[in-house]
Amino acid sequence: MPLEQRSSPLFVLVVFVNLIRLSYSCGRPCESVADYEATPVAKIWKYEQETEVSCSFCGGDEQKKFKCVLELKDQSIRDLQSSVESELFNTKEEVCPLCSENEATINLRVVDMPKCLLVHLEKCTLLSPLPFELDIRGTKLSLKCIIVEPKGVRTGCYIITRCHDHRFRRFNDTQITVASPTRLSMENFYTNSNVTLMYESKVDEQWGNQVSTDHIMAVKGDNKIQIQPHPDESPVRHAESLNDEGDQEGRDHLARTCDAEVQTEQKCVVDRGVQTLPYYSFETCRYNPKFKFFTGLDVEEFLTLYELIGGDDTISTLKRKYTGRTPDSKKKRQQKLSSEDKLFMFLLRLRRGFTLEDIAEMFNIGHTLAEDICYIMTRHLYLSFKAMENEMFPTAAQQRK
């Protein structure tokens, strides 16, 4: 996995969720504080909080607790930084938790701040814009990721993460869109939602050229590897020229050339040649011994089905849209995909469940064309077998004749 992907906030949160699940299913709890501190979850998200109780009746006590998530529930938050700081460092007067007799003074303070601070807001109302940075008694934290779980059934959970080009993007089940910082900072954006925020500690500038291992990325140079600061701490913004809507030309350009700001001295050029043929086709795969495994038919059965549904004369004249115009068989132009390829593509999707994105990549075509071909082949095979229904499934009366 590339280093850039391993350091993304989204990947970190996925790892965190799986580590939490693993800790619950390991069979036995941590027997001591030392056992807990040795776990991966504690090394990244753990923070130690001291609770000092001063009571005139029982004398008081001092306790230490280890936490991974700072939780705020059922409250109106006027200022998130103040609320977080009051949960980490606070002095309050309330009934003594030890004797439950007199009021006691309770002092809360965090001994060591975590590398990543998770703040969970449950049924909370923000009364001020969401801060993108926190300064907790000298420890600077920057917002890396937001998990929003709206209440209700119309909208599912989605994730907003800060990418390496310093832009926030929203990930849900169907699409990826750019999220405006102005929109994210609005208070009503999180109304009626449970929100989890991940703030990551920033590298202190006083260390100069020393770079934390949590904020580095490797850059290949001439016969060596350079270590540069994490993109969030560096002004490098080489990816901003790409179109956020998925411009293919921009992605191809990034794959061919690397920005001179990232390289040591010269550009790195990779020649991929000219792609004129599909990556996969019926002709290149028909002799593969696993052909039947992926299509459900051997080559002879495939060709029989191909001729049964009309062959090239019929498939090449099918409309891509139901309301479209039927192609003229007399003016056929050479297409990138043959009629055998279209049937082969349909069987791959039917048998193995490949997504349209996978099909488009395998056959080196666009997503829309892959969708249209799968549609017309599904409709054509349905109509072809529908016409044979009486011969394929004779009635009991016909069988007795």
Which residues, other chains included, contact 115 with Cβ-Cβ below 8 Å and sequence gap of 6+? 44, 45, 200, 201, 214
**Rounded distance between C-alpha atoms, residue 328 and residue 315, angstroms:** 12
The mean pLDDT value for 203-217 works out to 38
Mean pLDDT, the chain, as a whole number?
Answer: 70
Side-chain half-sphere of 234: how many Cα atoms within 13 Å? 17
Q: What pLDDT shows up at residue 15?
A: 56
**Rounded distance between C-alpha atoms, residue 35 and residue 259, angstroms:** 46
Confidence check: pLDDT of 293 > 70: yes
Please report which confidence band the pLDDT of residue 343 belongs to, taking 50, 70 and 90 as the band edges.
Answer: very high
Tens of pLDDT along 29-78? Answer: 454 545 555 666 666 666 667 777 777 667 666 676 666 677 787 778 88
Structure token digits, residue 82: 């103040």
Greater confidence (15 vs 141) lies with 141
Q: Within its chain, how far is the Cα of 51 from the centroid?
A: 38
pTM above 0.75? no
Q: What pLDDT shows up at residue 341?
A: 92
**Rounded distance between C-alpha atoms, residue 396 and residue 401, angstroms:** 9
Greater confidence (253 vs 297) lies with 297
Confidence check: pLDDT of 110 > 80: no
Length of the chain (residues): 401
Residue 205 burial (10 A CB sphere; 0-12, 13-18, 19+): exposed
The mean pLDDT value for 232-261 works out to 40
Please report which confidence band the pLDDT of residue 400 belongs to, taking 50, 70 and 90 as the band edges.
Answer: confident
Q: What pLDDT shows up at residue 302?
A: 92
**Rounded distance between C-alpha atoms, residue 80 and residue 184, angstroms:** 14
Geometric angle at alpha carbon 59, from 58 and 63, rounded to 5°: 105
Q: What percent of the chain has pLDDT over 70?
A: 59
Determine phi and psi for 127, rounding to 5 degrees.
-105, 5
Tens of pLDDT along 144-162? Answer: 888 888 776 556 678 888 8
The mean pLDDT value for 127-142 works out to 84
**Rounded distance between C-alpha atoms, residue 202 and residue 204, angstroms:** 6
Q: What pLDDT shows up at residue 224?
A: 37
Which stretch of 111-115, 179-183, 375-379 has the lowest confidence by average pLDDT? Answer: 111-115
Greater confidence (27 vs 168) lies with 168
Q: What percent of the chain has pLDDT over 90?
A: 5
Which residue pairs, CB below 8 angstroms and at least 24 apart, start in 355-364? 361/279, 362/278, 362/279, 362/280, 363/278, 363/279, 363/280, 363/281, 363/337, 364/275, 364/277, 364/278, 364/279, 364/336
Greater confidence (323 vs 83) lies with 83
**Rounded distance between C-alpha atoms, residue 301 and residue 306, angstroms:** 8
Confidence check: pLDDT of 275 > 60: no
Residue 304 burial (10 A CB sphere; 0-12, 13-18, 19+): exposed
Q: What pLDDT shows up at residue 253?
A: 44
